[in-house]
Amino acid sequence: MSAAVLVLYNPVSGDSTAKEFFQNHVLPRLDSSGIEPSAIVATEHAGHAGTVVTDFLQKHRGEVVVVLGSGDGTLHEVVNALSGHAFDTARTITFALVPCGTANALFSSLFPPTSESPAVAHKLLSLDAFVARSKPKPLTLARTTLYEGPTQQIPCHSTVSVVVTSAALHASILEDSELLRKEIPGIERFKVAAQQNIARWYQSRVKLFPLSSTGVVQVYDANMKALVPHKGPLDLSGPFAYFLSTINVDRLEPAFRITPQFSTEPPQGASLDVVVVRPQRDPVFRSDTPQTREAFAAKAYAVLMAAYQDGNHVRLRYKESGDISEDSDGPTVVEYFRCGGWEWIPEVDEKARLVCSDGSILKIAQGGKAFCEATEPQNLLVYG
């Protein structure tokens, strides 16, 4: 039995051109390939995409393909709606992504931009893989659970991410960038929000949990230019400037390759790639003062800019003077891990309690913590 096809797009994602793109390119491509969608739906409000997909699954039996025209936020809604329903886990749901959003992290990671391919053809690559019946790839999910206390284990909220789960600077950027959406519809709003938050530090404690495949956490070794096993437990204490983990992607925007090892050394099985910046690694760090934070902002900014240079931030190291260089053999500015899960236990400051899951912002209760774990559901796939 061939799969039932749902065509679903968010008309307000990105620059609000999804409807036009579907009418001019996606629907004709399906038609010329002899694929007849069972339904074509435009989302009407936030949260609608999840209901559309779960209703479709109830109406159609067997395998389902969702041709999804949106950004990562809409995919996040769909995946969360699916994880909240008790569907037969043997039922396969495969996404063909048409990047119509602002950042399109998952699509850009599956199909990194090239200067040669024309824009329209590039946007149709995942759809083309579906039409050609290519073998889809399994999606990893990161389930984040918020607990009200660090030890009492009372879960108060749970959500899944398909791209990114973060705290610290990235969570603050995403919180503020949403307020700028109307004013700056493109990815520039992330840079503006970064400037607003670049001098903040976040007091927290972190635990990294081993990969289920190898029983260890892996850490990036800048000399070996590779991930190596870390022996023993991995507890990190703050202050943190940056704390971010990704699944399924090596970039959060077409050029922002923040977790480059995901594509350089692809993981085996469910795992999270984690990028951390802790100012106390700076050889000239002495104490946490407003002046130290202000001075460190230039270094945090250099890390973000290097991520735009094909993920070069992982190669940045401190000189004895505290200057940053690729030619030093001092401590790396960025710590890079691959793990099975992590715990973020914020202390005191309000902003350290923010957690970002694919752009949506959660808040940890005072005295609580967030626990994030990678899982591979097996029945969620993507054409890539």
Ligand X SMILES: Nc1ncnc2c1ncn2[C@@H]1O[C@H](COP(=O)(O)OP(=O)(O)OP(=O)(O)O)[C@@H](O)[C@H]1O
Which spans of this chain sit near ligand X (rule: CB under 6 A)? 10-14, 43-48, 70-74, 77, 101-104, 359
Q: Which amino acid is at 108?
A: S
Phi-psi region of 67 (alpha: psi -120 to 50; beta: other; left: phi over 0): beta
Which is closer to ligand X, CB of 162 or CB of 314? 162
Q: Which residue is nearest to ligand X (CB)?
A: 71
Closest distance of CB 118 from ligand X, Å: 21
Closest distance of CB 251 from ligand X, Å: 12
Closest distance of CB 125 from ligand X, Å: 16
Strand ranges for 120-225 from DSSP E: 137-138, 141-147, 155-161, 164-167, 204-209, 217-221
Which is closer to ligand X, CB of 103 or CB of 370? 103
Which is closer to ligand X, CB of 101 or CB of 340? 101
Which is closer to ligand X, CB of 12 or CB of 127? 12
Closest distance of CB 298 from ligand X, Å: 27
Closest distance of CB 68 from ligand X, Å: 9
Provide the sign of the torsion angle of the four alpha carbons 323, 324, 330, 333, taken in this order.
Answer: positive
Which is closer to ligand X, CB of 222 or CB of 244? 244
Closest distance of CB 335 from ligand X, Å: 26
How far is it, in rounded angstroms, from Cα 186 to Cα 182? 10
Radius of gyration in angstroms for the set of CA atoms belonging to the chain, rounded to a whole number:
21
How far is it, in rounded angstroms, from Cα 155 to Cα 21? 42
Closest among 10, 148, 26, 150 to 70, alpha carbons compared: 10
Q: Which amino acid is at 213?
A: S
Which is closer to ligand X, CB of 74 or CB of 166? 74
Q: CA 145, 148, 149, 151: dihedral to nearest 10 degrees?
A: -50
